[in-house]
Amino acid sequence: MDGKERDRDEILIVDALGPVYSDKVKRILTSDDTLYYSKGGAWVAVSNSGVVAHKDTHVADGSDEFVDGDLLKATARVGIRKNSTGSVFSRRRLNFIEGTNVTLTVADDAGNEEVDITIAASGGGGGAPDSADYWVETANGSLSAEVVVGTTGITTAAYASRQAAAKAGRLFLPSDGVYVQRDTGSAWASWGPLYRMTPPVLGDFTQINFGSASAVDDIGAVYLFAPSNGGAQNLRMLARTLPSAPYTVTVCILPLLSNVQFSQAAFGLRNSANDDAVLFKMQTSGATSFEISYEKWNSNSSGGVGNYIAQQAGTMMLARPIFLRFEDDNTNRILSWGADGKNFLPLHSVGRTDFVTPDQAFIGLNPYDRATGITLYSWKQ
């Protein structure tokens, strides 16, 4: 090697480069103030300022080698996992991109040596528009056009208080009307007629003189059935205690009568202590005759011992179902019938305790010589 040589703290000062001297000598400084370090049996220039750049100390072909403009090699990349699975991508840096209705806030936290990224929804609650039509059970202050069940979606009120037609698909169930109505967006379309009912509860009734009769809950109604009495009078009844006068008891029934005589169904009032009863009776008498009468019975098996309305054709009641009503106004006992459950015509009126002082109302069957049934759709008292 040419030039003067001096050994100074393992840094060899030389005039020019030569071969690596020994493992002990790791660095040399040439006369032009360029510092070299040994790497793989050769000298590598560091700088001509005497300062070694940190990146130049990384070993070539090592796991931390710098390539591509001072970027670390692939082995120093960051892996990204999704839902705790293996690496999906592996790159040297991450790029977060704001999406629709999503904002990103990036902050440098030097104290904790970290970068904080805050992801938040924006512009409409994370994608769902607050002005869309939603069907909800409870009004929500963050929604501007929700349809609330029971308030705007499906409503019930007196017919005169029906809301104006405005949004197609809404339904209106009147408390005193005869139609179900659907909003078309500009008008109410109607379906009906409907009958307002008070569904009976079988457990509210007492069986009277039931014999082989049966009574069942029938999908909200009560169905009473009795086989033939074999040519005998026997009134099979479901009875309820009457309220104190003045009172009104209204029923909706559908008799199921045989096509030959005699098959009888009834609605009446009775005294539970002595079995006296007055009853409105419907019967078939032959294949083509539907008859009605308003009779007095002095026991469950006496048959009619008198009548208020003699047996006659019941043509006006061929429309079904049949609404019947007993009313005690504290003076008279009034029997009425109706076809729509709202409007009634009186059939008979007499002093309130004539023949019987009743404490029960009932529906009943007298299947004289034919099986008979009756469906009770509504009982209101």
Ramachandran region, residue 144 (left: φ > 0; alpha: ψ -120 to 50; beta: rest):
alpha
| Residue 7 confidence (pLDDT) | 42
Closest CA relative to residue 374, chosen from 226, 199, 171:
226
With 0-12 CB in 10 A as exposed, 13-18 as middle and 19+ as buried, what is 380?
middle
Closest CA relative to residue 45, chosen from 53, 54, 34, 55:
34
| Residue 22 confidence (pLDDT) | 54
CB 376 within 8 A of CB 251: yes
CB 121 within 8 A of CB 100: no
Cβ burial 90-126 (10 Å sphere, 16+ → b, else e) = eeeeeeeeeeeeeeeeeeeeeeeeeeeeeeeeeeeee
Closest CA relative to residue 234, chosen from 372, 353, 359:
372
For the chain, the residue count is 381
d(CA 167, CA 147): 10
The single-letter DSSP state of residue 35 is E
| Residue 234 confidence (pLDDT) | 95
| Residue 5 confidence (pLDDT) | 45
DSSP H helices in 238-286: none
Q: Which residue ranges in the chain fall short of pLDDT 70? A: 1-14, 17-26, 28, 39-41, 46-79, 84, 86-90, 92, 123-133, 137, 145, 149-150, 287-288, 319
User: Per CATH, the architecture of 202-380 is what?
Assistant: Sandwich (2.60)
| Residue 9 confidence (pLDDT) | 46
d(CA 95, CA 89): 12
CB 205 within 8 A of CB 222: yes
| Residue 138 confidence (pLDDT) | 73
Domain boundaries, the chain: 6-57, 96-128, 135-191, 202-380
| Residue 2 confidence (pLDDT) | 45
